[in-house]
Amino acid sequence: MSLPAHAMPLETAVPPPLPRPAGDVLLEARGLTVSAPGRPERLQVLRDLSFALRAGATLGLVGESGAGKSMIGRVLARHLPDGFSVDAGTLRFGENDLLGMPAEDHRRLLGSRIAFIPQEPMTALNPVLTIGQQLQEHLLRLGVAKDEWRERATAMLAEVRIHQPAQVLDKYAFQLSGGMCQRVMIAMAFAGDPQLVVSDEATTALDASTQAHIVTLIRGLQARRGTGVVFVTHDLGLAAHVCDELVVLYAGEMAERGPAKRIFTRSLHPYTQALQRANPHLTGPRRLLFSLPGQMPGISDFPSLRGCRFQPRCAVATEACATGVPPMREVLPGHHVRCVHGAAAPEPLLAADASDATIFQAPRMSDSPFLQVQGLSKTYRPSGGWLRRDTAVHAVKDVHLSIAPGEFVGIVGESGSGKSSLARLVMGLESASEGTILLNGRALVAKAEDWERRIASIQMIFQDARSALNPRRRVQSLVTQSMESRPNLHSDREARARELVGDVGLAPDMLTRFPSQMSGGQRQRVNIGRALCDLPQLLVADEIVSGLDVSVQAQILNLLLRIRREHKISLLLISHDLAVVRYLCSRVLVMHQGVVVESGETERVLADPQHDYTRSLLAAVPPRDLGQRWPV
């Protein structure tokens, strides 16, 4: 949860920040329990949470979507959903009782002493106000004089390394990149010299370079101002580098709590271990990712859960796990775990330990490429031919690419490098300025018959499955949507729909559901199933696992490997995650400013990069060795 800046109530000037002795406890929760309406009794959404954050330190909250991470932010902001309430426990901010203090005093804390950095800055920023207008409103609330706000706002944007900050003040959010919008939100969060900042998935779905830059910004501001940070993320590796202490949450309960580096290197709870094994790595042998069975239980499932809430998905569960809720126990100094096995938890026999190289081998088919891209370029020119030619933007410039049947090829680069533009050109969603695309040896041109030939052979899987799927259609209709133009196949749609949901690992009862009744991972599976309906030769996947939980990501990546074995389909994967590309793809192209700067076999390129830009991308990835300095 995060509060958009424009939603903050206007108040009188807030009091100056209180002194912050280094190391003092800044935020402390004891036995915090939040419940929601239910029958026959209320349902505990958060159960018995206890943690402490010291001034200048970073506390990480880790877990899948639905684990309860953002609910803690809602409690801090007193922004619980209707019917939800805090039923037990305490939550203190310094000397303040956040649960018992008057509402007016609590509102004065928000935005000044307690600030939020949201996951989706484009949603948090008001689209009809300029960046300057939103900063002005925020700064006036903090007590900045009217004739000083612009100078202060310019300095704030400069501090988060926004180029030409004075000009950015006059722009709207849609005129900025996602990374720039996130920096605006960071500047806004630190504007009031807060004592506490809640970063709610602020780096999720960002490329590695931007993520490293955002982390550097937060660390720098934190070091200069002694701010405590609650860092919400589903990336355990990132949290190990950023945080001092971690709280691993599952279904509203703490599964594990302790020093960040120790939990990363010696996790004790089976859930934490599963999160570790669900992540692909940049180095070492490639192993099949462990995919947690089932999914995070929803609130409505809580009454049926007895004992440990993780027990239905746990690989090492025993009868004792279902008979009672295990307490949090300190099994090592400062390291607590909620598990009947304690520090002696057996290593689960997980599929991640399998390293069969044949899993990653492409099926033997023709070595002749069926898709060839020759000298492809896309140039955007401003309207008005009298403008100078040097104002043109080269989104894609002279790209050469070939894909053989059954081959998985990755395209990597920072946001704005031209990856998605190239994907749209291949799909025919954009027309090329120069160059040729050949499909099975024949050039594709702007004719109706060539469009039919293209969509019969190439299908695209979009990043945001929620917006890609019609919310008014059921799954059965969605996955067979391409059959609607062929009435003679109408009677086969139900049978084909059942085949497709089986292919992507969904239960048959999903056929009658709407997208809103499914999880993010399930929606992405429907998105993939729809693309497979006519068994195309090539899938173009644009950041399809970006922002997903690591457990859901593992399911999708393993699914793509299985689809290749069963249907001999090729994949063009657009991604900023180098580890994901290494896991799936045999070849990789590195793009920078619309140009392919390096290409070759994935293992060779990542192990021995020849271009400075490729080396910079690799340096931006958090290393598994916590002894290495990051960000560099």
- 481: burial class by Cβ within 10 Å (0-12, 13-18, 19+)? middle
**219-233 per-position pLDDT tens digit:** 887 888 889 999 998
Which CATH code is given to the segment(s) 408-431+445-619? Answer: 3.40.50.300
Residue 552: predicted pLDDT: 83
| Mean pLDDT of the 5-33 span | 57
Question: Which one of 151-160, 384-393, 540-549, 608-617 scores highest in mean pLDDT?
Answer: 608-617
CA angle 100, 102, 108 (to 5 degrees): 115
What single string gives the DSSP state of each residue in 190-229?
HTT--SEEEEESTTTT--HHHHHHHHHHHHHHHHHHT-EE
Q: Decide which of 201 and 129 is more confident.
A: 129
Mean of pLDDT values over 24-28: 92
What CA–CA distance (Å, rounded) separates 542 from 419?
A: 8
The percent of residues in the chain predicted with pLDDT above 70, rounded, is 90
Task: Name the pairing type of β-strands 335-337 and 253-259.
Answer: antiparallel
In the chain, pLDDT over 90 holds for what percent of residues? 45
- Position 147 scores a pLDDT of 92
Average pLDDT, integer, range 33-40:
88
* pLDDT confidence tier of residue 487, bands split at 50, 70 and 90: low
Q: What band does 568 get if pLDDT is binned at 50, 70 and 90? A: confident
Lowest mean pLDDT among 35-44, 51-60, 255-264, 347-356: 347-356
Tokens 């953002």 identify what position? 70
CA distance linking residue 215 with residue 229, whole number of Å: 11
Mean pLDDT of 543-561: 85
* pLDDT at res. 9: 33
- Is pLDDT above 80 for 384? no
The better pLDDT of the pair 488, 289 is held by: 289
pLDDT tens-digit series, residues 273-292: 999 888 899 988 888 888 88
- The predicted-structure confidence for 317-365, as pLDDT tens digits, reads as follows 888 888 888 999 999 999 999 998 887 766 654 444 445 556 777 666 6
Instruction: Tell me what pLDDT residue 490 has.
Output: 58
pLDDT of the residue at 159: 82
Q: What is the mean pLDDT of residues 242-251?
A: 95
Among the ranges given (332-341, 558-567, 586-595), the one the predictor scored with the smallest mean pLDDT = 558-567
Q: Is the pLDDT of residue 381 over 80?
A: no
Q: By mean pLDDT, which of 349-363, 400-414, 546-560 is the weakest?
A: 349-363
Q: Which of 2-6, 140-144, 385-389, 454-458 has the lowest mean pLDDT?
A: 2-6
Q: What are the domain boundaries of the chain?
A: 5-9+25-275, 276-357, 408-431+445-619
CA dist 572 and 409 (Å) reads: 5
Does the pLDDT at position 491 exceed 70?
no
Provide the Cα torsion 147, 149, 154, 160; round to 10°. Answer: 160
Q: Name the residue with higher pLDDT: 592 or 544.
A: 592
pLDDT tens sequence across 158-198: 888 788 899 999 999 888 877 788 889 988 988 888 899 99
- For residue 41, the model assigns a pLDDT of 83
Domains 5-9+25-275 and 408-431+445-619 share a fold: yes
| pLDDT reading at 597 higher than 90 | yes
The closest alpha carbon to 502, from 515, 514, 511, belongs to 511
Indicate the pairing of strand 371-380 with strand 393-403.
antiparallel
Tell me if the domain spanning 5-9+25-275 has CATH number 3.40.50.300.
Answer: yes
Looking only at the bridges linking them, the beta strands covering 570-574 and 371-380 are: unpaired
Q: Which pLDDT belongs to residue 347?
A: 61
The answer to whether residues 392 and 379 touch, using CB atoms and an 8 Å cutoff, is yes
Question: Around Cβ 360, how many Cβ atoms within 10 Å?
Answer: 18
* pLDDT reported for residue 477: 92
* pLDDT attached to residue 488: 59
Which CA distances in Å does 511 have to 96, 518, 536?
Answer: 51, 11, 22
In tens, the pLDDT along 248-273 reads 999 999 999 999 999 999 999 999 99
The confidence band for 532, taking pLDDT boundaries of 50, 70 and 90, is confident
pTM for the full predicted model = 0.84
Amino acid at 76: L
Cα maximum dimension of the chain: 78
Tell me the two tokens of residue 240.
Answer: 């190990």
- Give the pLDDT of residue 6: 37
* Range of 64-73, 134-143, 520-529 with top mean pLDDT: 134-143
- pLDDT band with cut points at 50, 70 and 90 for residue 378: very high
- 3 state DSSP class of 516: helix
Local structure of residue 367 (DSSP, 8 states): S
| pLDDT tier, 475 (very low <50, low <70, confident <90, very high otherwise) | very high
CB atoms near residue 502 (< 10 Å): 12
Alpha-carbon distance of 309 to 314, in angstroms, equals 10
Nearest to 356 by CA among 624, 504, 578, 565: 565
Asked if residue 516 has pLDDT above 70, the reply is yes
Binning pLDDT at 50, 70 and 90, where does residue 608 land? very high
Alpha carbons within 13 angstroms on the beta-carbon side of residue 172 total: 6
Cα 350 from Cα 293, distance rounded (Å): 11
